[in-house]
Chain A
Amino acid sequence: MAVGLTLIFGVMRVVNFAHGDMMVWGMYVTFLLASRAGVDPYVAFGAAAAALFVLGLVVQRGLVDRVLDAPHEMQILLMLGVALILENTALLAFGPEPTRARSTLAAATIWLGPVFVDVARLIAFGVALALTAALWLFLFRTELGRLMRATADNTFGALVIGTDVRRVYAVAFGVGAACVGAAGALVAPILPWEPATGLSLSVASFNIVIIGGMGSLLGAFVGGLLVSVAESLGAVFLQPSLKELASFSLLILILLFRPAGLFGNGRDG
């Protein structure tokens, strides 16, 4: 999901505070399909991605488009408003109780060499890898992907060569949201969630993206690994409830000393 955020930020330089809440909606779409129509979460993930693509497109076209030239603060506040709306409509629609999507696959575990692995986690990891790879192919091997990178690099230059920047923005936002939706569907059978989860997911993914470097795909991936390593180490050496402390401390250090992130391109957002 950090990959989705990095795409939105990288291309548009808009900070999407509603990220975690979009992911939660991806989870609920999966949950609805699973509980009402009996679709397995791993099949529903395409639908969740599609639904979130549309949501992302609507939010971008209807709202973000209008404040693109405004200062960053305005965009942050706008997305904060969207986050509040998304989180609390989920609360109204589904109630505050934790939910979980059941998958017949998720119950299984297998021995992988010496370690005991959840099939669900394995699938999630595999699909996340595949998605990152697909996104990379999209960005580096297709025309639209090239235009997207061009826009991220130099919006004015892209305009000059005739890019439809607004369309690029819309697609970037949509694809970013779709990634999040897919991530939500993948995680749905593993983690129980509730509407308030969105906020902590947003914060966690900001950690990851900042640490890895804004607008860098590789950075998002490495950042994700780093954060989980830091949290595991924190859990081992301090105590489990202090594990988030490790990632937040890491975040503060990175913010102070390398605000562009480990793999960032050095430009200040």
Chain B
Amino acid sequence: MPNGAGSRLVSGHPPIAPASRPALQYLALAAVLVLLALPAVLTSYAVTVFILIFFYAFLGQAWNVVGGYAGQLSMGHAAFVGVGGYTAAMLSSELHLTPWLGMLVGGALAAVLGAVIGYLGFRFGLRGFYFVLLTVAFAEVCRILVSNIDALGGAIGLYITFTGDPRQFQFQDARAYYYVALALMLLATGVVALLERRRFGIYLGAIREDEGACEALGVDTFKYKMLAMIVSSFLTGVGGTFYAFYLFSLQPNSMFGIPLSVEIIIRPIVGGAGTLLGPILGSFILTPLGELSRLSLGHGGYHGLHLVAYGVLLVAVVLFLPQGAYPYLARVLRRRDA
């Protein structure tokens, strides 16, 4: 592979704009229609798997804004999930504010945290590994703080009483979660698709490729990186609300922990960071893989198998497909077209 190990994390290829080709546009439309109709024929287990696929694709897409397009490798995105989830859960239980609004408040608070991390990281010029560590450190600080605040449930966490009331973001029918998760995924993808073609998205890609050159050309790289971080953390915070109300429980270790951050970034990386469809493709590859290994090997103590598989995939992607699966797939398809 000529552009194998030596090339960048994310694509240096000219942007693949599938939406600009009518055939692909129809294909995307058809895919959405199929996904809309799918729950009618799926078993309830399959619905669960699809919910997870959509949800992780959504989180991956949110991460993609700052991690993929802007090339700022954040490994602390779990912090935003946690802040969003806890905010909505507390607002709902203490102030009886519906999570439909709490979700936005949670997203906003997550965005504030994102802005703080971004401000410190970008203002002090932390790059590469140092930025990674900064994000990890902030997520860990949040996790430790929340584990120690009794009002937030401490280390045990919070539980949400199930009422089955849609106004409380709770549904009797799992298929409702399916549609909410699908909507979230499409929403985030829509946002990214909009950003991608504007000046904002183009600047982000330029920052990723050569930040120094951008600055030399007068691009306010700080401003655009901050914006990317804020958009990304807002969306991730919204996702946190879904996570909390889908699981009915919030625990500091699972909402703020490093393993969740890894789950968030691995899908867009495998699928193709900095591409519109990469996170979705990555989630369609990895989520069922995880579920499958969990299902087929059951509870017989083979709990870590899917993570071994994730690790192998991650290593393989880094070595052989550093741009991720989607750009590769797109190239193959285009070659066939021609």
Contact = CB atoms under 8 A, between A and B. Distances in A.
Interface string B279-322: 00000000000000000000001111101101111110111001
A47 interface: no
Nearest to A246: B144
B140 A244 contact: yes
Interface stretch (B31-39, B91-99, B122-130, B329-337): B122-130
A244 B301 CA distance: 30
B315 A96 contact: no
Contact of B259 (A63, A86, A199): A199
Contacts of B124: 255-257, 259
Contacts of A249: 141
Given A89-B308, A92-B302, A92-B304, A80 B262 contact: yes
Interface in B221-252: none
B308 A70 contact: no
Interface string A196-210: 000100010010001
A248 B141 contact: yes
B136 interface: yes
Contact of A259 (B7, B126, B314): B126
Most buried by B among A15, A84, A248: A84
Most buried by A among B4, B5, B136: B5
A251 interface: yes
A15 B307 CA distance: 21
B133 interface: yes
Interface in A55-95: 63, 66-67, 69-74, 76-78, 80-92, 95
Contacts of B148: 239, 241-242
B318 A67 contact: yes
B130 A78 contact: no
A242 B144 contact: yes
B137 A73 contact: no
Contacts of A70: 5-8, 318, 322
Contact of B126 (A67, A96, A242, A255): A255
Contacts of A251: 133, 137
Contacts of A88: 304-305, 307-308, 311
Contacts of B174: none
B132 interface: yes
A81 B311 contact: yes
A195 interface: yes
Interface residues on B, range: 35 or more
B139 to A, nearest CB: 9
A255 B128 CA distance: 12
Interface string A229-269: 00000000001011011001101100111010000000011
B134 interface: yes
Contacts of B147: 241
A101 B61 CA distance: 44
Nearest to B124: A256
Contacts of A80: 262, 311, 314
A59 B262 CA distance: 21
Given A84-B314, A195-B304, A252 B137 contact: yes
Given A245-B141, A245-B145, A85 B311 contact: yes
Given A63-B319, A88-B304, A252 B134 contact: yes
Interface string B76-113: 00000000000000000000000000000000000000
B5 A67 contact: yes
B56 to A, nearest CB: 16
B138 interface: yes
A85 B312 CA distance: 7
B184 interface: no
B144 to A, nearest CB: 5
B46 interface: no
A87 B304 CA distance: 8
Nearest to A89: B308
Contacts of A95: 301
Contacts of A96: 301, 303
B315 A81 contact: yes
Contacts of B319: 63, 66-67, 78
Interface of B: 4-9, 71, 73, 120, 124, 126-130, 132-134, 136-138, 140-141, 144-145, 147-148, 155, 258-259, 262, 269, 301-305, 307-308, 310-315, 317-319, 322
16 contacts: A15-B129, A69-B6, A70-B318, A71-B8, A74-B5, A77-B317, A78-B314, A81-B310, A81-B315, A89-B304, A96-B301, A241-B147, A242-B148, A244-B144, A259-B126, A269-B129
Interface of A: 15, 63, 66-67, 69-74, 76-78, 80-92, 95-96, 195, 199, 203, 206, 210, 239, 241-242, 244-245, 248-249, 251-252, 255-257, 259, 268-269
Would you list the 6 A-B pairs with minimal beta carbon distance, nearest first?
A84-B311, A88-B304, A81-B314, A91-B304, A85-B311, A81-B315
